[in-house]
Structure 1
Amino acid sequence: MKFSPDVDQRIKNAASFYLYSLMCEVHILFLLAKNLLISSKY
């Protein structure tokens, strides 16, 4: 299955954008969890 270069580029852009937003979400969840741990200590 071969895509045209234009479609191939769009798929790569969509994939990298998806990964980027996933990383951001994980980062935010990590920060929230850290804040919860810190606030539950005190």
Structure 2
Amino acid sequence: MPYLFAAFSIVWLGLFSYLFYLGKQQKMLENEIQKLKGKTFQQ
């Protein structure tokens, strides 16, 4: 039974880490899009 708990813990930790990474990447992409939009309007 401890192995089952350890396996679930690892899976959930990996899932939350991946979701955190995706959120961070999305925020970076949104910032980049805003910068590019600002550059196109300035021209």
Q: Same fold by TM-score, threshold 0.5 exceeded?
A: yes
Letter in 1 for 2:30: F
After the TM superposition, list the runs of 4 or more consecutive aligned residues in structure 1 that deviate by more than 2 angstroms. none
The alignment's C-alpha RMSD in Å is 1.1
Between the aligned residues of both structures, percent identity stands at 12
Q: 1:17 maps to what in 2?
A: 17
Structure with the largest fraction of helix: 2
Could you say which structure has the larger radius of gyration? 2
Give the Å deviation of 1:36. 0.2
TM-score norm. by structure 2 comes to 0.86
Q: What per-residue deviation string (whole Å, max 9, x for no partner) do you get for residues 7-29 of structure 1? A: 10000000000000000111000
